[in-house]
Amino acid sequence: MTRRQRDVWSPLKQDRSGAIPCPGGLSLYSVSIPEPRLAGLSLFFFSDTHFRTKPVYSIPGGIFGFERIARTLRETLDAYPADVVIFGGDLISESVWLRDAFSMLRSLPAKIAKLAVKGNWDSYAGWISDQTWRDGYAGAGFRFLENESFTLDAVSFYGTADFKTGSPRYRPDPERCNCLVSHNPDSIPFLRHRYGAARLALCGHTHGGQCRIPGYGAVITSSRYGKRFELGSYLCGQDGSRLLVSGGIGTTWLSLRLFCPPEAYRVEFTGETPR
Protein backbone atom coordinates (compact mmCIF):
# COMPACT_ATOMS: atom_id res chain seq x y z
CA MET A 1 0.00 0.00 0.00
CA THR A 2 1.56 3.27 -1.11
CA ARG A 3 1.45 6.48 0.89
CA ARG A 4 -0.71 8.06 -1.80
CA GLN A 5 -3.26 5.26 -1.52
CA ARG A 6 -3.44 5.67 2.27
CA ASP A 7 -3.58 9.45 2.34
CA VAL A 8 -6.71 9.89 0.25
CA TRP A 9 -8.74 9.61 3.49
CA SER A 10 -9.42 12.84 5.38
CA PRO A 11 -11.09 13.06 8.81
CA LEU A 12 -14.43 14.88 8.97
CA LYS A 13 -14.26 16.53 12.36
CA GLN A 14 -17.73 18.04 12.05
CA ASP A 15 -19.23 14.54 12.38
CA ARG A 16 -17.66 14.33 15.86
CA SER A 17 -18.56 17.86 16.91
CA GLY A 18 -21.14 16.72 19.43
CA ALA A 19 -22.76 13.54 20.69
CA ILE A 20 -26.49 13.11 21.28
CA PRO A 21 -26.98 12.41 25.02
CA CYS A 22 -28.65 9.02 25.31
CA PRO A 23 -30.19 7.02 28.17
CA GLY A 24 -27.57 5.23 30.23
CA GLY A 25 -24.62 7.34 29.10
CA LEU A 26 -24.08 6.13 25.54
CA SER A 27 -22.62 8.73 23.17
CA LEU A 28 -24.57 8.65 19.91
CA TYR A 29 -23.06 10.42 16.90
CA SER A 30 -25.43 11.37 14.09
CA VAL A 31 -24.09 11.45 10.54
CA SER A 32 -25.95 12.53 7.40
CA ILE A 33 -24.80 11.13 4.07
CA PRO A 34 -26.12 12.50 0.77
CA GLU A 35 -27.39 9.65 -1.38
CA PRO A 36 -30.67 10.11 -3.30
CA ARG A 37 -31.08 6.37 -3.90
CA LEU A 38 -31.29 5.76 -0.14
CA ALA A 39 -33.05 8.94 0.97
CA GLY A 40 -34.84 8.37 4.27
CA LEU A 41 -33.00 5.15 5.18
CA SER A 42 -31.51 5.12 8.71
CA LEU A 43 -28.81 2.88 10.21
CA PHE A 44 -27.72 2.25 13.80
CA PHE A 45 -24.16 0.95 14.05
CA PHE A 46 -22.47 -0.29 17.23
CA SER A 47 -19.48 -2.52 17.82
CA ASP A 48 -17.11 -4.19 20.29
CA THR A 49 -19.34 -4.95 23.27
CA HIS A 50 -16.75 -7.45 24.58
CA PHE A 51 -19.07 -8.77 27.30
CA ARG A 52 -17.16 -10.11 30.28
CA THR A 53 -17.58 -10.55 34.03
CA LYS A 54 -15.44 -7.54 34.89
CA PRO A 55 -17.33 -4.27 34.28
CA VAL A 56 -16.09 -1.39 32.15
CA TYR A 57 -15.00 1.72 34.04
CA SER A 58 -15.59 4.81 31.94
CA ILE A 59 -14.15 8.18 32.95
CA PRO A 60 -16.37 10.12 32.62
CA GLY A 61 -19.47 7.93 32.55
CA GLY A 62 -19.25 5.54 35.47
CA ILE A 63 -19.45 1.75 35.45
CA PHE A 64 -20.85 -0.16 32.47
CA GLY A 65 -21.75 -3.77 33.22
CA PHE A 66 -23.79 -6.12 31.07
CA GLU A 67 -27.19 -4.95 32.32
CA ARG A 68 -26.40 -1.28 31.86
CA ILE A 69 -25.06 -1.79 28.34
CA ALA A 70 -28.08 -3.89 27.34
CA ARG A 71 -30.54 -1.37 28.80
CA THR A 72 -28.70 1.56 27.24
CA LEU A 73 -28.79 0.06 23.73
CA ARG A 74 -32.49 -0.82 23.98
CA GLU A 75 -33.49 2.59 25.30
CA THR A 76 -31.39 4.39 22.71
CA LEU A 77 -33.04 2.48 19.87
CA ASP A 78 -36.46 3.15 21.39
CA ALA A 79 -35.64 6.86 21.43
CA TYR A 80 -33.97 6.89 18.01
CA PRO A 81 -35.49 4.07 15.92
CA ALA A 82 -33.49 2.82 12.93
CA ASP A 83 -34.41 0.90 9.81
CA VAL A 84 -31.31 -1.30 9.94
CA VAL A 85 -29.32 -2.18 13.07
CA ILE A 86 -25.73 -3.30 12.39
CA PHE A 87 -23.28 -4.89 14.83
CA GLY A 88 -19.58 -4.64 13.96
CA GLY A 89 -18.19 -7.68 15.79
CA ASP A 90 -16.36 -8.68 19.00
CA LEU A 91 -19.49 -9.61 20.91
CA ILE A 92 -17.86 -11.30 23.92
CA SER A 93 -14.53 -11.63 25.68
CA GLU A 94 -15.65 -14.58 27.83
CA SER A 95 -17.70 -17.40 26.33
CA VAL A 96 -19.84 -17.71 29.47
CA TRP A 97 -21.61 -14.53 28.29
CA LEU A 98 -22.52 -15.82 24.82
CA ARG A 99 -26.12 -16.82 25.60
CA ASP A 100 -26.82 -13.57 27.44
CA ALA A 101 -25.23 -11.58 24.62
CA PHE A 102 -27.47 -13.17 22.01
CA SER A 103 -30.45 -12.54 24.28
CA MET A 104 -29.49 -8.87 24.44
CA LEU A 105 -29.22 -8.69 20.65
CA ARG A 106 -32.65 -10.31 20.33
CA SER A 107 -34.15 -7.48 22.40
CA LEU A 108 -32.91 -4.72 20.08
CA PRO A 109 -35.60 -3.32 17.78
CA ALA A 110 -35.13 -2.61 14.07
CA LYS A 111 -37.74 -1.53 11.56
CA ILE A 112 -36.43 -3.63 8.67
CA ALA A 113 -33.34 -5.74 9.37
CA LYS A 114 -30.49 -6.55 11.78
CA LEU A 115 -27.01 -7.48 10.49
CA ALA A 116 -23.74 -8.60 12.11
CA VAL A 117 -20.13 -9.49 11.25
CA LYS A 118 -17.46 -11.35 13.20
CA GLY A 119 -14.55 -9.64 14.97
CA ASN A 120 -11.09 -10.91 15.82
CA TRP A 121 -12.00 -11.81 19.41
CA ASP A 122 -14.96 -13.82 18.14
CA SER A 123 -12.51 -15.83 16.06
CA TYR A 124 -10.05 -16.24 18.94
CA ALA A 125 -12.77 -18.17 20.76
CA GLY A 126 -11.95 -21.16 18.58
CA TRP A 127 -14.04 -23.53 20.68
CA ILE A 128 -17.16 -21.66 19.49
CA SER A 129 -17.98 -23.07 16.05
CA ASP A 130 -19.01 -21.01 13.04
CA GLN A 131 -22.37 -22.76 13.14
CA THR A 132 -22.87 -21.68 16.74
CA TRP A 133 -22.29 -18.08 15.71
CA ARG A 134 -24.69 -18.37 12.79
CA ASP A 135 -27.38 -20.07 14.84
CA GLY A 136 -26.98 -17.60 17.69
CA TYR A 137 -27.28 -14.56 15.46
CA ALA A 138 -30.21 -16.10 13.58
CA GLY A 139 -31.98 -16.73 16.88
CA ALA A 140 -31.42 -13.07 17.77
CA GLY A 141 -32.98 -11.96 14.49
CA PHE A 142 -29.64 -10.95 12.93
CA ARG A 143 -28.37 -11.86 9.49
CA PHE A 144 -24.73 -12.95 9.98
CA LEU A 145 -22.49 -11.88 7.09
CA GLU A 146 -19.03 -13.32 6.48
CA ASN A 147 -17.94 -12.41 2.96
CA GLU A 148 -21.65 -12.30 2.13
CA SER A 149 -24.17 -9.67 1.10
CA PHE A 150 -27.68 -8.69 2.13
CA THR A 151 -29.68 -6.61 -0.33
CA LEU A 152 -32.47 -4.23 0.51
CA ASP A 153 -34.07 -2.37 -2.38
CA ALA A 154 -31.38 0.06 -3.61
CA VAL A 155 -28.66 -0.88 -1.11
CA SER A 156 -26.36 -3.87 -0.76
CA PHE A 157 -24.81 -4.51 2.67
CA TYR A 158 -21.65 -6.58 2.37
CA GLY A 159 -20.13 -8.02 5.55
CA THR A 160 -16.56 -9.31 5.43
CA ALA A 161 -14.48 -11.78 7.40
CA ASP A 162 -12.17 -10.23 9.99
CA PHE A 163 -8.92 -8.73 8.72
CA LYS A 164 -6.70 -10.26 11.45
CA THR A 165 -8.14 -13.75 11.62
CA GLY A 166 -9.79 -14.35 8.26
CA SER A 167 -9.63 -13.51 4.57
CA PRO A 168 -11.90 -10.52 3.90
CA ARG A 169 -13.40 -10.23 0.43
CA TYR A 170 -15.82 -7.79 -1.10
CA ARG A 171 -18.07 -8.04 -4.15
CA PRO A 172 -19.64 -4.68 -5.05
CA ASP A 173 -23.15 -4.75 -6.50
CA PRO A 174 -23.11 -2.54 -9.63
CA GLU A 175 -26.91 -2.16 -9.49
CA ARG A 176 -27.07 -0.85 -5.92
CA CYS A 177 -25.48 1.54 -3.48
CA ASN A 178 -22.88 -0.46 -1.54
CA CYS A 179 -22.42 -0.39 2.22
CA LEU A 180 -19.42 -2.34 3.50
CA VAL A 181 -19.31 -3.68 7.07
CA SER A 182 -15.88 -4.85 8.20
CA HIS A 183 -14.79 -5.15 11.82
CA ASN A 184 -11.29 -3.76 11.30
CA PRO A 185 -10.70 -0.48 9.39
CA ASP A 186 -7.31 -1.83 8.25
CA SER A 187 -9.23 -3.88 5.70
CA ILE A 188 -10.79 -0.87 3.96
CA PRO A 189 -7.78 0.42 1.96
CA PHE A 190 -7.02 -3.18 0.93
CA LEU A 191 -10.61 -3.97 -0.11
CA ARG A 192 -11.02 -0.65 -1.89
CA HIS A 193 -7.78 -1.12 -3.84
CA ARG A 194 -8.55 -4.71 -4.85
CA TYR A 195 -12.33 -4.72 -5.36
CA GLY A 196 -13.49 -1.11 -5.63
CA ALA A 197 -15.02 1.50 -3.39
CA ALA A 198 -18.17 1.30 -1.28
CA ARG A 199 -20.36 4.35 -0.73
CA LEU A 200 -20.10 3.75 3.03
CA ALA A 201 -17.87 1.53 5.18
CA LEU A 202 -18.64 0.79 8.84
CA CYS A 203 -15.88 -0.45 11.18
CA GLY A 204 -14.95 -0.80 14.85
CA HIS A 205 -11.99 -2.64 16.41
CA THR A 206 -9.80 0.31 17.48
CA HIS A 207 -11.96 1.24 20.51
CA GLY A 208 -10.78 4.76 19.79
CA GLY A 209 -7.76 3.72 21.82
CA GLN A 210 -9.90 3.16 24.97
CA CYS A 211 -7.68 5.65 26.79
CA ARG A 212 -7.36 8.99 25.03
CA ILE A 213 -5.21 12.00 25.84
CA PRO A 214 -7.04 15.31 25.31
CA GLY A 215 -5.54 17.08 22.32
CA TYR A 216 -3.71 13.95 21.13
CA GLY A 217 -6.22 11.13 21.05
CA ALA A 218 -5.47 7.40 21.08
CA VAL A 219 -2.19 6.08 22.40
CA ILE A 220 -2.84 2.49 21.21
CA THR A 221 -5.10 1.58 18.28
CA SER A 222 -4.25 -2.04 17.37
CA SER A 223 -4.00 -0.89 13.76
CA ARG A 224 -1.26 -1.37 11.20
CA TYR A 225 -1.83 2.27 10.22
CA GLY A 226 -1.31 3.61 13.73
CA LYS A 227 -3.55 6.61 14.35
CA ARG A 228 -4.61 6.92 10.72
CA PHE A 229 -8.07 5.40 11.28
CA GLU A 230 -8.25 5.58 15.05
CA LEU A 231 -11.77 6.99 15.45
CA GLY A 232 -14.47 8.95 13.69
CA SER A 233 -15.64 9.82 10.20
CA TYR A 234 -13.44 9.92 7.10
CA LEU A 235 -13.97 11.04 3.51
CA CYS A 236 -12.14 9.60 0.52
CA GLY A 237 -10.99 12.50 -1.64
CA GLN A 238 -10.76 10.35 -4.75
CA ASP A 239 -14.39 9.21 -4.97
CA GLY A 240 -16.35 10.70 -2.05
CA SER A 241 -16.86 7.40 -0.24
CA ARG A 242 -17.23 7.50 3.54
CA LEU A 243 -15.67 5.50 6.37
CA LEU A 244 -16.99 5.48 9.94
CA VAL A 245 -14.83 3.99 12.70
CA SER A 246 -16.71 3.52 15.96
CA GLY A 247 -14.94 3.65 19.31
CA GLY A 248 -17.18 0.78 20.43
CA ILE A 249 -18.63 -0.02 23.81
CA GLY A 250 -16.44 -2.50 25.72
CA THR A 251 -12.75 -2.96 26.44
CA THR A 252 -9.97 -5.52 25.90
CA TRP A 253 -6.52 -5.05 27.44
CA LEU A 254 -7.72 -2.83 30.28
CA SER A 255 -11.23 -2.49 31.75
CA LEU A 256 -11.03 1.28 31.47
CA ARG A 257 -12.24 3.84 28.97
CA LEU A 258 -10.56 7.19 29.66
CA PHE A 259 -12.04 10.22 27.86
CA CYS A 260 -13.51 7.70 25.41
CA PRO A 261 -17.10 6.93 26.47
CA PRO A 262 -19.02 4.03 24.93
CA GLU A 263 -20.50 5.12 21.63
CA ALA A 264 -22.58 4.24 18.59
CA TYR A 265 -23.42 5.84 15.23
CA ARG A 266 -26.74 6.77 13.68
CA VAL A 267 -26.53 7.24 9.91
CA GLU A 268 -29.25 8.96 7.90
CA PHE A 269 -29.17 9.11 4.11
CA THR A 270 -30.52 12.29 2.54
CA GLY A 271 -31.87 13.15 -0.87
CA GLU A 272 -28.98 15.48 -1.62
CA THR A 273 -26.64 14.65 -4.47
CA PRO A 274 -23.13 13.58 -3.38
CA ARG A 275 -20.48 16.16 -4.19
* pLDDT at residue 2 in the model: 52
What pLDDT is stored for residue 1 in this prediction? 47
Comparing 138-142, 145-149, 216-220, 262-266, the range with the smallest average pLDDT is 216-220
User: pLDDT tens digits for 47-77?
Assistant: 999 999 999 999 998 999 999 999 999 999 9
Q: How confident is the model at residue 241 (pLDDT cuts 50, 70, 90)?
A: very high
How confident is the prediction for the chain on average, in pLDDT?
93
* Exposure string for 263-273, b = 16+ CB within 10 A, e = fewer: bbbbbbbeeee
CATH homologous superfamily of 31-270 equals: Metallo-dependent phosphatases (3.60.21.10)
The band of 31, judged by pLDDT with boundaries at 50, 70 and 90, is very high
Does position 5 have pLDDT exceeding 60, yes or no?
A: no
Domain ranges of the chain: 31-270
